[in-house]
Chains A and B, each alone.
Chain A
Amino acid sequence: MASVSAPGPVEVPPSRAVQEFAARHYLACGAQQFGMDEPALAKVLAQVAAQGGVCGDDAAEQAFLASLRLEELILARACACGNHRAWEIFLTRYRSTLYEAAYKIAPTESTAREVADSLYADLYGVGAKGEQHTSKLLYYLGRGSLQGWLRVVTAQEYIKGYRRYRRETSLDAAVEEGLQFAAPEPDRSASDPRVESAVTAELAALDSEERFLLAAYYLDHRTLAEIAKLRGVHESTVSRQLDRIAAAARKRIRKRLMRFGMSARQADEAMQETDVQDLRVAVRETLQQAGPNSAFYTEKGGREG
């Protein structure tokens, strides 16, 4: 991952709305048990509001702060500050979440344990060589649950480790493992500028949600169940939406192509799923010598030769 846009804590003087909010929620959020006083809470909230981009507008600030998971945010900040009581609570509540998420995301148990241990060290603010770092918990802003955030950072940690492993593995080792490198596919859709124009225009007309759905299903080959779980809808809903988007896109691209001067048949051919040039012939399998039993014609009755 190139960069993470979540900035570190920035010193922002708390506004009046933030101070009022902090005063109202100081006792309820549990900051007191971690030795955090009301001004410190207001300072934390001001930082979070600034990172959320709602500084200046009192009403927006209040609404933004009200949407935060305040208790978990304070716990994370207290952990990042090294509060022992906070770490006790964190370990009691979230350690199992961390390791369970790692076990579900990573393919093997050893990898999962490695990912979870590495992340745990990051959360604690200790580097691989024992040096002190800023705790990763400072990046938790309370927009979602702390549990969900831990799952996300676990997934990021795993993907980061996977990419590091792929980068550090030599080509010879990869080939020995059975990895095959496919030749880059020529981009044939760009061969006809009319097709490219129609597709680009249609893609631009799609909503971001629709493009996300299409990318998840057609590019990442995510299952309907995975998409449905992420979106919180039923699989059939996702299926219907994909069907609708694909059918509408096909129809409109066809119309555009015909407007560009193509005949209906040409437009259909341009959108065909399989192009002749895309056909790959498995030469080795085709030329391979057949086995002795099947080398001769076999009648239906079972008589051979």
Chain B
Amino acid sequence: MKEKLPKPMRDALGRETAPADHPSSDLLAAFIEHALGKSETRSLADHLAGCAECRAVVFSASGATEEPMGAEDLQESPATRGWRTIAHAATESTAANRKPKRRRTWRWVWAAPAGVMFLLVGGYFAHRYFAPVPLTSQLASNATMEKLPTPGQPPQNVNPPGVPPASPAPVPTPKSRSEAKPGSGALAKKIPTGSTDSLEISSEGASAAKTEELHAKSEMPKPASEPSTIAVGEPPPAAAPPAPHANGFVPSTGANVQSYSYTSNQLSAQRAAVDALQPLHPGWRVTALGYLEHRTSEGWTRVLADRAAAFRAVTVVGDNVWAGGSEGALFHSQDAGLHWKKVSLPESNDAPPAIVSIHFDDQQRGVVSTDKGSRWSTNDGGTTWSRQ
């Protein structure tokens, strides 16, 4: 409030008196609830302007309401329109011969460029985070999971200290995310590759990973009492996964989700690996144990649970879902996961490579990468494949 009412006018306002007949409580209640018509509202406001007692009643009753009426509700009610119309008319009547009427449309001129900017930024982020980029497979190859257990086999979480992993991890690809970050690359260099320290990260393990990263960055020696294996969170269940349903869907137990095992020379990839736990495609994900899961109304449910493959990558283009994993397992569903078809790549090796990346530009054209570096492309929705 900047303006003050001139004092003589305030005095004159205080001298105003209202007629002795007060409006009924029914009318006052309707006035508070904006249920009166224009003329009644005007006459009642005229009385209220000169009657301090009725003003006190109206404000007391209005203050006793639980919550103020929402502006949206009020805009809808005809009585409120009456209020607003009267107030607007009053404002216009006082301002009519003072100012030239300003064009109200210019007030919202900023909305158009703001909307365009919002769409551009939203589109950029949607393209960046929801495009079918085979990030899971890249990270999986970079992070070099020591031993990815098959779904039917209980995972071995704890690596004995001092014992190197049984199968050496594949060499990270040159354009991996972990190497793209300069800080993480330097961090990876500082840590001896032969170190056997391993770190298990459960779903709550992001902070532990950061702590570990800080330890490494500061180059401070770890306390001697600190075990070489740090287990954060609950260990994954040792029991076998539940039996699949008829269509291959098995309810996820949740405890075995997002449990990674890393060697210390991939500490720089921990953060990226934690990021990789987030599903790339809404409704589909590959857990750290290699389970393919689909979000339904009952939560995350395992898909293709009867398959022995440890899945590494999943991508979704419309209703087409592609999932790939160990031993060349590549599955395709054209109806959003209801029915699956196994797709075989024409690579005739004794040990089929694991599929670590699936990328489809549309429903027909896509590229599949294996952990041996081979890339296969299709232009007919997976019917035929050609090596690149």
Residues on A facing B (Cβ under 8 Å) = 1-6, 67, 100-101, 104-105, 139-145, 148-149, 151-156, 158-159, 187, 189, 195-196, 199-200, 202-203, 206-212, 214-216, 218-220, 222, 224, 226, 228-234, 239, 241-251, 253, 270-275
Contact = CB atoms under 8 A, between A and B. Distances in A.
Interface of B: 1-16, 20-36, 42-43, 45-46, 48-50, 52-53, 55-66, 68-69, 71, 74, 80, 83-84, 86-87, 89-91, 93-95, 98
Residue from A141, A149, A158, A200 having most chain B Cβ neighbours under 10 A: A149
Contacts of B94: 206-207, 210, 244-245, 248
B257 to A, nearest CB: 47
A226 B63 CA distance: 7
Residue from B6, B30, B65 having most chain A Cβ neighbours under 10 A: B6
A282 B11 CA distance: 23
A142 B25 CA distance: 11
Contacts of A195: 8
B154 to A, nearest CB: 58
B3 A152 contact: no
A159 B26 contact: no
Given A208-B46, A243-B1, A218 B10 contact: yes
Given A209-B87, A245-B94, A249-B6, 12 more contacts: A5-B22, A6-B27, A101-B61, A141-B26, A151-B29, A187-B11, A196-B8, A199-B8, A207-B93, A211-B49, A232-B71, A232-B74
A271 B8 contact: yes
8 contacts: A6-B26, A144-B26, A144-B30, A199-B11, A243-B1, A245-B94, A253-B9, A273-B4
A192 to B, nearest CB: 9
Nearest to B94: A248
Nearest to B56: A159
B8 A215 contact: no
Given A153-B25, A211-B13, A250 B3 contact: yes
Residue from A187, A224, A251 having most chain B Cβ neighbours under 10 A: A187
Contact of B22 (A1, A141, A216): A1
Given A100-B64, A158-B60, A246-B4, A207 B86 contact: yes
A272 B95 CA distance: 23
Contact of B48 (A202, A215, A229): A215
